[in-house]
Amino acid sequence: MESISSGNANAQATKVGDRENRMNLIAAVSQPLASRWAPIPIRLMVGYGFMQHGFAKLSRGPDTFAAILEAIGVPMPHVMAWITVLTELFGGLAVLIGAFLPLVSVPLIALLLVAALTVHLPYGFSSIKLMSVTAGRAQFGPPGYECDLLYLACLVALVCAGAGPLSVDEYRMRKRGTRTAL
Protein backbone atom coordinates (compact mmCIF):
# COMPACT_ATOMS: atom_id res chain seq x y z
CA MET A 1 0.00 0.00 0.00
CA GLU A 2 2.86 2.37 0.85
CA SER A 3 4.53 1.69 -2.46
CA ILE A 4 1.37 2.67 -4.34
CA SER A 5 0.93 5.96 -2.46
CA SER A 6 4.64 6.81 -2.73
CA GLY A 7 4.43 6.05 -6.45
CA ASN A 8 1.51 8.47 -6.76
CA ALA A 9 3.43 11.10 -4.80
CA ASN A 10 6.44 10.65 -7.06
CA ALA A 11 4.21 10.91 -10.14
CA GLN A 12 2.63 14.08 -8.74
CA ALA A 13 6.05 15.58 -7.99
CA THR A 14 7.25 14.66 -11.47
CA LYS A 15 4.20 16.34 -13.04
CA VAL A 16 4.75 19.50 -10.99
CA GLY A 17 8.46 19.46 -11.83
CA ASP A 18 7.74 18.97 -15.53
CA ARG A 19 5.24 21.82 -15.47
CA GLU A 20 7.75 24.13 -13.74
CA ASN A 21 10.44 23.14 -16.24
CA ARG A 22 8.10 23.88 -19.15
CA MET A 23 7.19 27.27 -17.66
CA ASN A 24 10.85 28.11 -17.08
CA LEU A 25 11.67 27.09 -20.64
CA ILE A 26 8.84 29.24 -22.02
CA ALA A 27 9.98 32.21 -19.93
CA ALA A 28 13.59 31.74 -21.00
CA VAL A 29 12.69 31.51 -24.67
CA SER A 30 10.01 34.21 -24.78
CA GLN A 31 11.93 36.98 -22.98
CA PRO A 32 14.88 37.12 -25.37
CA LEU A 33 12.48 36.63 -28.26
CA ALA A 34 10.38 39.59 -27.16
CA SER A 35 13.39 41.80 -26.56
CA ARG A 36 14.88 40.72 -29.88
CA TRP A 37 11.79 41.89 -31.79
CA ALA A 38 11.20 45.04 -29.70
CA PRO A 39 13.20 47.38 -32.00
CA ILE A 40 10.86 46.78 -34.94
CA PRO A 41 7.88 48.87 -33.76
CA ILE A 42 10.30 51.57 -32.57
CA ARG A 43 11.98 51.65 -35.98
CA LEU A 44 8.66 51.76 -37.80
CA MET A 45 7.23 54.58 -35.70
CA VAL A 46 10.35 56.74 -35.54
CA GLY A 47 11.25 56.20 -39.19
CA TYR A 48 7.72 56.95 -40.36
CA GLY A 49 7.55 59.98 -38.05
CA PHE A 50 10.70 61.53 -39.47
CA MET A 51 9.61 60.82 -43.03
CA GLN A 52 6.17 62.32 -42.39
CA HIS A 53 7.77 65.52 -41.06
CA GLY A 54 10.02 65.67 -44.13
CA PHE A 55 7.08 65.12 -46.49
CA ALA A 56 5.06 67.81 -44.71
CA LYS A 57 7.85 70.36 -45.16
CA LEU A 58 8.33 69.31 -48.78
CA SER A 59 4.61 69.48 -49.59
CA ARG A 60 4.32 73.02 -48.21
CA GLY A 61 7.47 73.95 -50.07
CA PRO A 62 10.93 74.27 -48.57
CA ASP A 63 10.64 78.05 -48.97
CA THR A 64 7.84 78.08 -46.40
CA PHE A 65 10.02 76.20 -43.94
CA ALA A 66 12.99 78.43 -44.82
CA ALA A 67 10.89 81.48 -43.85
CA ILE A 68 10.27 79.91 -40.44
CA LEU A 69 13.98 79.18 -40.03
CA GLU A 70 14.83 82.75 -41.01
CA ALA A 71 12.32 84.10 -38.47
CA ILE A 72 14.01 82.20 -35.63
CA GLY A 73 17.48 83.32 -36.73
CA VAL A 74 18.88 80.18 -38.36
CA PRO A 75 21.77 81.06 -40.69
CA MET A 76 21.41 80.15 -44.38
CA PRO A 77 17.73 79.29 -43.95
CA HIS A 78 17.18 77.98 -47.50
CA VAL A 79 20.16 75.64 -47.32
CA MET A 80 19.19 74.51 -43.82
CA ALA A 81 15.58 73.94 -44.95
CA TRP A 82 16.73 71.57 -47.68
CA ILE A 83 19.22 69.84 -45.39
CA THR A 84 16.46 69.35 -42.82
CA VAL A 85 13.96 67.99 -45.35
CA LEU A 86 16.46 65.58 -46.89
CA THR A 87 17.74 64.46 -43.48
CA GLU A 88 14.20 63.74 -42.30
CA LEU A 89 13.25 61.90 -45.49
CA PHE A 90 16.37 59.79 -45.98
CA GLY A 91 17.21 59.47 -42.30
CA GLY A 92 13.64 58.40 -41.59
CA LEU A 93 13.81 55.81 -44.35
CA ALA A 94 17.11 54.49 -42.98
CA VAL A 95 15.59 54.15 -39.49
CA LEU A 96 12.48 52.51 -40.93
CA ILE A 97 14.52 49.78 -42.66
CA GLY A 98 17.14 49.62 -39.90
CA ALA A 99 20.08 50.73 -42.02
CA PHE A 100 23.27 52.27 -40.62
CA LEU A 101 21.49 53.37 -37.42
CA PRO A 102 24.56 54.58 -35.49
CA LEU A 103 25.59 56.79 -38.41
CA VAL A 104 22.11 58.00 -39.41
CA SER A 105 21.16 58.83 -35.82
CA VAL A 106 23.76 61.60 -35.53
CA PRO A 107 22.11 64.13 -37.90
CA LEU A 108 18.63 63.11 -36.72
CA ILE A 109 19.61 63.73 -33.10
CA ALA A 110 21.09 67.08 -34.14
CA LEU A 111 17.76 68.04 -35.76
CA LEU A 112 15.86 67.02 -32.64
CA LEU A 113 18.13 69.03 -30.36
CA VAL A 114 17.87 72.13 -32.55
CA ALA A 115 14.07 71.80 -32.71
CA ALA A 116 13.80 71.26 -28.95
CA LEU A 117 16.07 74.16 -28.03
CA THR A 118 15.01 76.75 -30.62
CA VAL A 119 11.33 76.04 -31.23
CA HIS A 120 9.75 73.87 -28.53
CA LEU A 121 11.61 74.83 -25.32
CA PRO A 122 9.70 78.10 -24.75
CA TYR A 123 6.43 76.12 -24.74
CA GLY A 124 7.46 73.79 -21.92
CA PHE A 125 7.55 70.02 -21.74
CA SER A 126 4.07 68.87 -22.78
CA SER A 127 3.37 68.23 -26.44
CA ILE A 128 -0.38 68.54 -25.90
CA LYS A 129 -1.80 71.83 -24.67
CA LEU A 130 -5.57 71.99 -24.76
CA MET A 131 -6.41 75.66 -25.19
CA SER A 132 -10.17 75.46 -25.74
CA VAL A 133 -13.00 73.51 -27.25
CA THR A 134 -15.05 75.36 -29.83
CA ALA A 135 -17.84 73.92 -31.96
CA GLY A 136 -17.07 70.50 -30.54
CA ARG A 137 -13.45 70.60 -31.68
CA ALA A 138 -10.38 70.82 -29.51
CA GLN A 139 -7.98 73.69 -30.10
CA PHE A 140 -4.37 73.00 -29.16
CA GLY A 141 -1.48 75.33 -28.44
CA PRO A 142 2.10 75.00 -29.65
CA PRO A 143 3.83 71.75 -28.68
CA GLY A 144 6.62 71.53 -26.13
CA TYR A 145 9.76 69.43 -26.32
CA GLU A 146 8.21 66.14 -25.09
CA CYS A 147 8.08 64.47 -28.53
CA ASP A 148 11.62 65.59 -29.31
CA LEU A 149 12.79 63.77 -26.19
CA LEU A 150 10.77 60.66 -27.06
CA TYR A 151 12.29 60.49 -30.54
CA LEU A 152 15.73 61.12 -29.04
CA ALA A 153 15.27 58.30 -26.51
CA CYS A 154 14.10 55.92 -29.25
CA LEU A 155 17.11 56.70 -31.44
CA VAL A 156 19.51 56.16 -28.53
CA ALA A 157 17.77 52.87 -27.68
CA LEU A 158 18.05 51.69 -31.29
CA VAL A 159 21.72 52.60 -31.46
CA CYS A 160 22.46 50.84 -28.16
CA ALA A 161 20.30 47.74 -28.70
CA GLY A 162 20.64 47.40 -32.45
CA ALA A 163 18.10 47.55 -35.25
CA GLY A 164 16.71 44.10 -34.53
CA PRO A 165 15.49 41.49 -36.98
CA LEU A 166 14.30 42.28 -40.48
CA SER A 167 16.77 45.14 -40.78
CA VAL A 168 19.60 46.05 -43.09
CA ASP A 169 21.95 46.30 -40.11
CA GLU A 170 21.13 42.74 -38.99
CA TYR A 171 21.66 41.47 -42.54
CA ARG A 172 25.03 43.23 -42.68
CA MET A 173 25.92 41.86 -39.23
CA ARG A 174 25.11 38.25 -40.22
CA LYS A 175 27.00 38.62 -43.49
CA ARG A 176 30.12 39.87 -41.71
CA GLY A 177 29.61 37.82 -38.55
CA THR A 178 29.88 40.87 -36.30
CA ARG A 179 27.58 42.74 -33.94
CA THR A 180 26.61 46.36 -34.82
CA ALA A 181 24.88 47.42 -31.59
CA LEU A 182 26.84 49.06 -28.78
Please, what sign has the CA dihedral across residues 137, 141, 145, 151? positive
Contact 121, 136 (CB under 8 A): no
Report in angstroms the alpha-carbon separations of 99 from 52, 65, 163.
18, 27, 8
The answer to whether residue 13 scores a pLDDT higher than 60 is no
Q: Provide the 10 A C-beta neighbour count for residue 137.
A: 7
Q: What is the mean pLDDT of residues 10-24?
A: 61
Q: What is the mean pLDDT of residues 157-171?
A: 93
Q: What is the mean pLDDT of residues 60-82?
A: 94
The answer to whether residue 37 scores a pLDDT higher than 80 is yes
Q: What is the mean pLDDT of residues 13-40?
A: 68
| pLDDT confidence tier of residue 177, bands split at 50, 70 and 90 | confident
Q: Which residue has the higher pLDDT, 75 or 179?
A: 75
Contact 92, 112 (CB under 8 A): no
Tell me the Ramachandran region of residue 98: left when phi exceeds 0, alpha when psi lies from -120 to 50, beta otherwise.
left
Q: What is the pLDDT of residue 122?
A: 92
Q: Model's pTM, two decimal places?
A: 0.77
Q: What is the mean pLDDT of residues 164-177?
A: 89
Tell me the C-alpha distance between 146 and 116, whole Å: 9
Tell me the C-alpha distance between 84 and 90, whole Å: 10
End-to-end CA distance of the chain: 63
